[in-house]
Structure 1
Amino acid sequence: MSVNKNNTYNASRRSFLLKGSMASLGLLITGSSAWSRSFAIEKLPDSKFFGVQIGAITYSYRSMPHNVQQLLQYIVDSGISAVELMGEPVEDYAGKPADKNQVAEWRATVSMDKFKEVKKMFKKAGVSIYAFKPSALGANNTDAEVEYALRAAKALGANSVTVELPKDPAHSKRLGALAAKHKVYIGYHAHTQATDTAWDEALSQSPYNSMNLDCGHYIAAGGNNTKETLLALIQAKHNRITSFHIKDRKTKENGGANLPWGQGDTPLKEILNLLKEKKYNIPASIELEYTIPEGSDAVKETRKCLAYAKQALGA
């Protein structure tokens, strides 16, 4: 994932604070409990259409600084009812130390109570968490940190954690063994190194090793990766895919750019309707990576992506 610097950040941030709903006001004054009580009167989001769960990875809101409660407000304002949750906001809520040298020890010993609180907070607002992506699953992280990530995912209600597909098979073997111990899936994410066989070794190592398939990156890789091969890969591996990332990218031959939905080469409509027709129970995460237009913000653009998906599915 590449971070896009948005020149409209200050304007959108001021807009968010000025428009603040009573829910947001309750949050700023008295914290998450008041926010939850006020939110109970609001319409809950629903982004599941014909059995297809459209979600979002919360990386999509990186241009809008937030704590975990503000992040939840962005999600709900986007109309999203399920997410892949990045690690930083929830870890900060749970008390992660600012000193990086203390983080590994904190992860090894931290109570899951705050993670359970986040699950309840999100559930009350109509949002479920299907995947968790903390920076605790790398080759340099300890087994205790990996197990922390898996325990935290369970506490949040997620059935998988996500991480970049390792270059070293020994690492995916280690992760797969720990995942089996906790019965939480490891969803491996690939960028433009994605091929039809890129995940095969990891998948063979453990039934708890799975795919977090980024359809946009797959198309942007070009070469042998085509619309037809992507749809065939989804059908062939559907029982080993725990979540998708959905974005619209041009092929490598066309420059590989991230574009607003409907302007790139990713077969978004075909992917979504394949999930609908085959009844594959795989959440499709909006990942907002194209440049946010002047005068807009991540919430508005996520809503546009959601509207595109809803229309594509005929909802």
Structure 2
Amino acid sequence: MEKSNNPSVSRRQFLGTAAALVSGSVLASNSVFGAPAYIKNLFGPNSLINGVQIGVITYSFREMPDQSAEAVLQYVLESGISAIELMGDPAEIYAGKPKSYVDMRSVFPLMRKRNEKQELTEEEKKKLEDAEAQMKSYNAEVAKWRAGASMAKFEELGKTYKKAGVSIYAFKPNAFGRNNSDTEIEFGMRAAKALGANQVTLEHPSNDEHTLKLGTIAQKVGVKVGYHGHEQQTYTLWDTALAQSPANSLNLDFGHFVAAGNPTPLDFIKLKHDRIVSMHLKDRQTPAHGKGNVVWGQGDTPIREALKLMKDNKYSFPATIELEYKVPEGSNPVAEVKKCLEFCKSSLS
């Protein structure tokens, strides 16, 4: 898709191209991946495999140069995925949110290291502190925009993705933290509904008062809240939140759960399956083996067994590919997500 400096022109091109993609009338348009991507996905992708919906969180494409809603859709289509957990920026920027002046692609790895209790160098600490100070100023600007933003563009975007064969089941904007206002929280949940999602996702805040607030607002709006976890995940991490509201749910990260040293991870899925709204898949090692985040099939996470468990028990929540291992030289995130999808297909065949 040819880029334009005029946002309205770019949006019209996006809508027109997506519509033409579905009808099969566009085969030679310029695009991020060129015509072959369109030909391969002429009738839309399908990652519903023997009753198990395989999805992808668009965070997986964070290393790709273009993070626009237009580009993200093409990455998803080229990956062969038909359902997604959408990160906030592509949708919000499409809807008119001011663009950030912080390069989050360089900050995300540092945030992840901190979340996982890894030691940061003094230089990394300074970089993270500076970025967070800039983000505080930017977030105030965003809060003002969210207070008056229309849902029309989110509805438009959700319909466009759906016409291209991609449903949005989860939305993850940076709108649900303890520093976000109730107005922002409700905005994020209403945006999720406008996109067609039935859930919002966020990192578990480890604060009972906040999970009560989020659950209460989610019940009002009519969405679920999926709390994601890293290595703080335990068998009891979600118990208080689940008791507070029927809207509070699990966005279980199966790989991190294993890396945290939890025994019998498959039993945990059985135990909580009725409150899991989505589950992230990655292959991590156990603490005894170094907790590495590795190419699928090389770690200790029983991904195949989890997928078979979902198939055999007809669990309806999606299994979300989250690409976090290092992309091999000569490859790219889209190619690696495709490999993960093939792993899922072979596991469910």
Tell whether the structures are fold-level matches, with TM greater than 0.5. Answer: yes
Cα distance between partner residues in 1 of 2:303 and 2:212: 32
Counterpart contact for 1:26–1:34, Cα < 8 Å? no
Counterpart contact for 1:56–1:286, Cα < 8 Å? yes
Cα distance between partner residues in 2 of 1:118 and 1:284: 23
Report SS of the residue matched to 2:250: strand
Greater relative contact order (Cα 8 A, min sep 6): structure 1 or 2?
1
Residue aligning to 2:31 = none
> Are residues 1:188 and 2:227 paired?
yes
> Are residues 1:51 and 2:55 paired?
no
The correspondence of residues 1-315 of structure 1 with structure 2, limited to 5 A, is 24-25=1-2, 31-40=13-22, 41=24, 42-65=42-65, 66-98=67-99, 99-222=138-261, 225-226=262-263, 229-314=264-349
Instruction: Report how far residue 105 of structure 1 moved.
Output: 1.9
Cα distance between partner residues in 2 of 1:107 and 1:86: 16
What code does the residue aligned with 2:278 have?
Answer: S
1:221-251 deviations in Å (ceiling 9; x for gaps): 11xx13xx21111111111000000000011
TM score, norm. by length of structure 2? 0.80
Counterpart contact for 2:86–2:170, Cα < 8 Å? yes
Counterpart contact for 2:208–2:241, Cα < 8 Å? yes
Instruction: Report how far residue 190 of structure 1 moved.
Output: 0.6
Cα distance between partner residues in 2 of 1:168 and 1:152: 24
Cα distance between partner residues in 1 of 2:171 and 2:15: 23
What code does the residue aligned with 2:82 have?
Answer: S
Cα distance between partner residues in 2 of 1:73 and 1:81: 12
1:121-156 deviations in Å (ceiling 9; x for gaps): 101110000000000000000000000011001000
Counterpart contact for 2:49–2:345, Cα < 8 Å? yes
Counterpart contact for 2:84–2:167, Cα < 8 Å? yes
Instruction: Report how far residue 39 of structure 1 moved.
Output: 1.2
Q: How many aligned residue pairs are there? A: 287
Identity over aligned pairs, percent: 53
Report SS of the residue matched to 2:64: coil
Instruction: Report how far residue 109 of structure 1 moved.
Output: 1.7
What code does the residue aligned with 1:81 have?
Answer: S
TM score, norm. by length of structure 1? 0.88
Cα distance between partner residues in 2 of 1:31 and 1:257: 42
Segments of 5+ residues of structure 2 without an aligned counterpart are: 25-41, 100-137
Does 144-153 or 35-44 show the bigger shift? 35-44
Instruction: Report how far residue 120 of structure 1 moved.
Output: 1.0
Cα distance between partner residues in 2 of 1:281 and 1:154: 19
Cα distance between partner residues in 1 of 2:254 and 2:327: 20
Cα distance between partner residues in 1 of 2:84 and 2:147: 25
Counterpart contact for 1:220–1:249, Cα < 8 Å? yes
Cα distance between partner residues in 2 of 1:195 and 1:214: 11
Counterpart contact for 1:26–1:38, Cα < 8 Å? no
Residue aligning to 2:29 = none
Report SS of the residue matched to 1:263: coil
What code does the residue aligned with 2:89 have?
Answer: E
Does 167-176 or 36-45 show the bigger shift? 36-45
Counterpart contact for 2:19–2:160, Cα < 8 Å? no
Instruction: Report how far residue 301 of structure 1 moved.
Output: 0.1
Cα distance between partner residues in 1 of 2:260 and 2:272: 19
CA 1:306–1:312 in structure 2 vs 1: closer, same or farther (change >3 Å)?
same
What code does the residue aligned with 2:15 have?
Answer: S
Cα distance between partner residues in 2 of 1:211 and 1:34: 37
Does 53-62 or 230-239 show the bigger shift? 230-239
Segments of 5+ residues of structure 1 without an aligned counterpart are: 1-23
Report SS of the residue matched to 1:291: coil
